[in-house]
Chain A
């Protein structure tokens, strides 16, 4: 499958601090690609570099066959971005925001109304078109932001933690929207630290930890890399986890424990994530609570 994004040796430094440390990324055309990592791992910085908002300290990026150097206007027209924070102008209406966005992307005036109507119908935003952005709930603000990002028909849509802080209904509403957009041909680059979101939506994921890519593959492949079967049990250092390639191996270990608190189960993406990004926070919490 052809890659729509290819990044090699991507490095971003803020002074002495390395936020992104020489990562390689390939995003296939038409897929939903998940970029997973804890807060501060380098997800948003990577998105800013891939969307041309920030220049990398080192490395090369090719987006839809065009290198991100020199005149970026053509590349930018292929990119849609929904940032972590709602960046719409909150003091004007959804319709006015859409109009301004269309103007900034140089969509011909004659097409703006039709495109606005189409996109708002697709994301079910039509009843809220004349509401002030400030008066919308979090989920609808996010939908409005997605509608804006789609107006210029980008080939790749970057969603930076799109469901952070939303309630369950709003999250599922956005998941469905993301699936619809992807079915219509838009490649989705999604950053999240919700594993259920990544497991439910993403064709492939990369896990980033401390600025480096820890693993890449389909959620299933990542689980297999770790071991399909997981056993969790109370060990001398608190809750411990072991992973096994085959169910029988895991079952034998589980039975050898003879503990009521032990659990035998399939490996989840969350296990992969925690193994790759570290369980330091949980360990630290336990240490603090013991004190």
Chain B
């Protein structure tokens, strides 16, 4: 299929880059979630029960969820922004006989692969530390969808950012608050209703719900999965439009 082949063509350079730097990229991406695990999981959460399970079992899926966000988003957004604004190498893609759809999806591959590698490593570590966690096909699928959504968000941000200050602003006011507030480390029911309403609109909340439900064998929140898919459609549509019309 032509779209599939073109996606691989676009992703090829990023995959060569990943192959050369995989250990450095994984190490830097895993430092923060591992610190969260140690500091919150063992330091503060020892003996605490949350939503009926030990805090560590509650927290690990949340940390996996936030890792899919941070690993997927950062690797894509910054790379595209630098390629556009500093190296102007993104223009080269315009010169190739490749559709905008292939460029948008092809550019997510690095984020998806990196996000999945980091997420899986954490998940295996979590499974070792906490017997309640289950690793199953549903969980892997949800992680894959999650990495794809945040990679698409990375493509969108990378295409729209006017420079490093804009990207830093987006990281500080959107990505960082999401990582803490979207139910990754505490139950949302602890927050005031107004705050809950806002947080329910954010994609990471739904990722956390899906991953936690899959990992702990709870009833699966299909609405959250649908909302994640809707986010994917929106991020894809915005990226495609920006690329097609040259408005980046």
Chain A residues engaging chain B, CB cutoff 8 angstroms = 48, 51-55, 73-74, 76-77, 79, 81, 83-93, 96-97, 99-101, 103-106
Asked if B13 contacts A97 (CB within 8 A), the reply is yes
- Given A73-B97, A100-B9, A106-B9, 14 extra CB contacts under 8 A: A48-B91, A52-B95, A85-B89, A87-B88, A87-B89, A89-B13, A91-B17, A91-B21, A92-B16, A99-B12, A101-B92, A103-B9, A103-B12, A104-B92
Q: Which residues of chain B are near A52, meaning CB under 8 Å? A: 94-95
Asked if A87 contacts B95 (CB within 8 A), the reply is no
Select one of A84, A87, A96 contacting B16, CB under 8 A. A96
Expressed in whole angstroms, the Cα–Cα distance for A77 and B95 within the complex equals 8
Binary CB contact string for chain B from 97 to 112 against chain A (1 if under 8 A, 0 otherwise): 1100000000000000
Q: With A48-B91, A55-B246, A89-B89 in contact, is A105–B16 under 8 Å at CB?
A: no
B93: interface (CB < 8 Å): yes
Q: Which residues of chain B are near A104, meaning CB under 8 Å? A: 9-10, 12, 92-93, 96, 98
Q: With A89-B13, A92-B20 in contact, is A54–B98 under 8 Å at CB?
A: no
Q: Which residues of chain B are near A96, meaning CB under 8 Å? A: 13, 16
Q: With A96-B16, A100-B13, A104-B10 in contact, is A76–B97 under 8 Å at CB?
A: yes
Q: Which residues of chain B are near A55, meaning CB under 8 Å? A: 246
Q: Which residues of chain B are near A99, meaning CB under 8 Å? A: 12
Q: With A87-B88, A88-B89 in contact, is A76–B95 under 8 Å at CB?
A: yes
Interface of A is mostly: loop
Binary CB contact string for chain B from 1 to 45 against chain A (1 if under 8 A, 0 otherwise): 000000011101100110011000000000000000000000000
Which one of B8, B17, B97 has the highest number of Cβ atoms from chain A below 10 Å of its Cβ? B97
B87: interface (CB < 8 Å): yes
Q: Which residues of chain A are near B96, meaning CB under 8 Å? A: 76, 104-105
Q: Which residues of chain B are near A83, meaning CB under 8 Å? A: 88, 91-92
Q: Which residues of chain A are near B94, meaning CB under 8 Å? A: 52-53
Expressed in whole angstroms, the Cα–Cα distance for A97 and B14 within the complex equals 11
Q: Which residues of chain B are near A81, meaning CB under 8 Å? A: 92, 95
Measured CB to CB, the nearest residue on chain A to B17 is A91
Q: Which residues of chain A are near B91, meaning CB under 8 Å? A: 48, 53, 83, 87
A sample of 24 cross-chain residue pairs with beta-carbon separation below 8 angstroms, ordered by A number, consists of: A48-B91, A54-B246, A73-B97, A76-B95, A76-B97, A79-B95, A81-B95, A83-B88, A86-B87, A87-B89, A87-B91, A89-B13, A89-B17, A91-B20, A91-B21, A92-B13, A92-B17, A92-B20, A96-B13, A97-B13, A101-B92, A104-B92, A104-B93, A105-B97
Asked if B95 contacts A53 (CB within 8 A), the reply is yes
Q: Which residues of chain B are near A91, meaning CB under 8 Å? A: 17, 20-21
Measured CB to CB, the nearest residue on chain B to A55 is B246
Q: Which residues of chain A are near B93, meaning CB under 8 Å? A: 104
Q: Which residues of chain B are near A105, meaning CB under 8 Å? A: 96-97
Measured CB to CB, the nearest residue on chain B to A93 is B16
Asked if B95 contacts A51 (CB within 8 A), the reply is yes
